[in-house]
Amino acid sequence: MRRTVAVVLIALGVFCLALAPMMRTWMSSSLMKTPLDYYNPTVNVGEVTYFNIEDVELVEDADVEAHSTIRADVASSTDDVVVWDQFTWIKDADTDFGISSTNRRAGHDRVTGELVDCCDAMINDSSVKQTGQGWKLPFLTEQRDYDFFETTVEEVVPMEFEGVEEVDGVEAYKFVQTVEPTVIDEREIPRSVAGLEGDGDVVGDETFSIVRTYWIEPVSGSPIDMSEEHHRVVVVDGEEVLTLLSGELRFDDATRAAAIDNTTQARTVLPLLHTTLPIGALVLGAGFVGIAVVLLVTGRRTENHG
């Protein structure tokens, strides 16, 4: 009888020991992938100063909204790479005046979030090779700095880890990307608009800087809150003469709530499959095998004494 029970326990133990790595690798890995049918609209809001080019006037402390939509291109995506198309429109919330618009296309690894050179990647309809992280960080994000592609200066700028905070009760890793003032274009503007004496136009450097903060839910690698402190100006002879866009835009309440909700499965299921259940299966499997060994040893002793 003991031998039969021992054999059954050994079988159960081997099953549990085999199941543990399977849960950690195959089962959890199947969930640690960005969906191929991904669709995500977001809205950032804030008080911003901007230049209204139609009315040729500076609008200060305006309520501004940045509407962004990301849609996966299913046909161009693969099992390993998902291709995203993004369109962003910044407008005055009160007047509907369109301040700026941008579009972007790139493919990135479905697990790591790293950009992949493929699929007609572009920014504002111009072909641009993009590297580093694209929109998100890897599943199981680490507490370290990451290279993150910045679309306005079109180069990698580090996203620096700055600590752990809570966003509406959810643990998040805080990362900050700082782009120092960078000349991105030339602007010809009337001297009167620039506040300069004389008639005619003056050519200045369009200069861009931004401090971008991501609060990343670490299991999914997805941002559950985001802030961008924009500063885009025209500089003439080393002095800022015209503000084009300046102010902070941050996820509105609905966007933040939806972002947190989208990470629920990752936060609840993945830790179970990746850590808790595999450890439990290992302990249980080792326990079954250990009990079986004890039963076999004591059974033999009993037979020998008999």
Q: What are phi and psi of 200, to 5 degrees?
A: 85, -165
For residue 21, the SS3 value is helix
Work out the end-to-end distance of the chain between its first and last CA atoms, rounded to an integer number of angstroms.
15
Tell me if 232 sits within 8 A of 246, measured CB to CB.
Answer: yes
Structure tokens at 73: 């291109």
Is the whole model's pTM more than 0.85, yes or no?
A: no
Query: What's the CA angle centered on 112, arms 106 and 118, to 5 degrees?
Result: 25
Tens digit of each residue's pLDDT, the chain (306 residues): 555 655 554 554 455 455 545 555 544 455 689 999 999 999 999 999 999 999 989 999 999 999 999 999 999 999 999 999 999 999 999 999 999 999 999 999 999 999 999 999 999 999 999 999 999 999 999 999 999 999 999 999 999 999 999 999 999 999 999 999 999 999 998 888 888 888 888 999 999 999 999 999 999 999 999 999 999 999 999 999 999 999 999 999 999 999 999 998 777 776 655 555 555 545 555 555 556 555 556 655 555 454
Q: In the beta sheet, which residues pair with residue 17?
A: none
Non-local CB neighbours of 56 within 8 Å, separated by 6+ positions: 190, 193
